Structure 1
Amino acid sequence: MKTAEEIIETNIKQKEFYNYKTHKNIPTRIWGFLREKTLKQIRRDIGALNQSYDLHKVWFGDLSDKKVLDLGCFSGNNLSMYMAENSKEYIGLDLSDVAIAKLNDRLKDIPTAKAIAADFLSMTDFPDKDFDIIYAYGVLHHFQNPDVLISKLNEKLATNGIIVSYDPFETSLPIKIIRVLYRPFQSDKDWEWPFTKSTYYKFHNTFKVIERHGVLGKAKWYFLINLLPISSEKKQEIGKRWHQQDWDNSMVSDKVLFSCMHVTMKMQKK
Structure 2
Amino acid sequence: MTADQLRKSILQQAIQGKLVPQDPNDEPASVLLEHIREEKARLVEEKKIKKEKNPSVIFRGEDNSYYEKFTLSGEVKCIDEEIPFEIPNGWEWARISNIFQINPKNICNDELEVAFIPMEKLSAGYGSNYSYEKVKWSKIKKSFTHFANGDIAFAKITPCFQNRKSAVFEKLPNGIGAGTTELKILRTFAETINRYYLLYFLKSPYFIEEAIFKGTANQQRIISGYLENKLFPIPPLAEQQRIVEKIEEL
Fold similarity call, TM over 0.5:
no
TM-score band, normalised by shorter chain: under 0.3
The structure whose residues are more often strand, as a share, is 2
TM-score by length of 2: 0.27
TM-score by length of 1: 0.25
Larger RCO: 1 or 2 (CA < 8 Å, sep 6+) = 2
The structure whose residues are more often helix, as a share, is 1
